Amino acid sequence: MTTTSSLERLEAKKRELEAKIATAKAKLSKKSRAEDTRRKILVGAAIIAANNTEDPRMPDALLASLLGEYITAARDRSFLGLPPLPPSPPEAN
């Protein structure tokens, strides 16, 4: 039969393990975000370098088209000197 003290020890151990799991998940999430940011910086740097050296694979028109299509946040578009996107049409009910 399980005593109250052994049950309390098990509950304490459970809380300890849950805290360790939460810490491990947070570290993994932080590492994943950092890797994603690094990937974006490196890809962006490669694209900018190709465009600045007038590499025929990255002409100004292609870069402008990509930025215009994939940069959608108003503050990011403003920062890059892109025109604002037209307002979205209202959703049909």
Task: Flag whether the pTM goes above 0.75.
Answer: no
In this structure, are residues 47 and 63 in contact, taking their beta carbons and an 8 Å threshold? yes
pLDDT tier at 78, thresholds 50, 70, 90 = very high
Contact 82, 69 (CB under 8 A): no
Q: Name the pLDDT band for 76 (thresholds 50, 70, 90).
A: very high
Domain boundaries, the chain: 4-79
Contacts of 58 (CB under 8 A, 6+ apart): 47, 50, 51
| pLDDT for position 2 | 66
Q: In the Cβ-directed half-sphere of 5, how many Cα atoms lie within 13 Å?
A: 0
Which residue, among 49, 52, 38, 47, has the nearest Cα to 67 in the 3D structure? 47
